Amino acid sequence: MNDVVKPVCRGYITARHIRGSHVPQRVQNLVVRDYTQRNGIDFRLSEVEYLMPGCYIMLNSVIAELPHIDGIVAYSLFMMPKRRARRMNAWQSFIDSGRTLHFAVENFALSTATDIQTAEDILAIDQTSEAADLPF
């Protein structure tokens, strides 16, 4: 008998546009579920971030669950707070608790300081290309 214990992660999706596009919540959940299945994660029902810009009530709610779960699987890195200070506080919550923040679309997981730098680099490149109106 195989007694492998799977990590337990809560899903995190949004009602907002992501990088200018609306992704239906059911599609976001399918992507998150697929990611958890491919990575051997026990999926817990997703929390949905509110539509209001700059509101991260549900992100803070799932972060508050970290003592009881192994991490969070967010639909995308580009759902995270736009303000760097808010993002850094979120990232630090995972580092301090020894938990992992997964991003399903990007197939990326954040659990170390190096991962924080990688995430920040990705966001900076995206912001630069958006500001320059580059085609990628």
pLDDT tens digits, residue range 24-78? Answer: 999 999 999 999 999 999 999 999 999 999 999 999 999 999 999 999 999 999 9
Q: Which two tokens stand for residue 109?
A: 């997981």
pLDDT tier at 127, thresholds 50, 70, 90: confident
Instruction: Give the rounded percent of residues in the chain with a pLDDT score beyond 90.
Output: 86
CATH code of the domain occupying 8-131: 3.40.50.1390
The three-state secondary structure class of 59 is helix
Which tokens in the block code for residue 107?
A: 């197939």
pLDDT at position 4 is 80
28/14 Cα distance (integer angstroms): 8
The number of beta carbons lying within 10 Å of the beta carbon of residue 119 is: 20
Q: Residue 5 is encoded by which pair of tokens?
A: 């214990």
Task: State the pLDDT confidence band at 131, using cuts at 50, 70 and 90.
Answer: low
| CB-count exposure of residue 24 (10 Å: 0-12, 13-18, 19+) | exposed
Alpha carbon distance 54, 4 (integer Å): 39
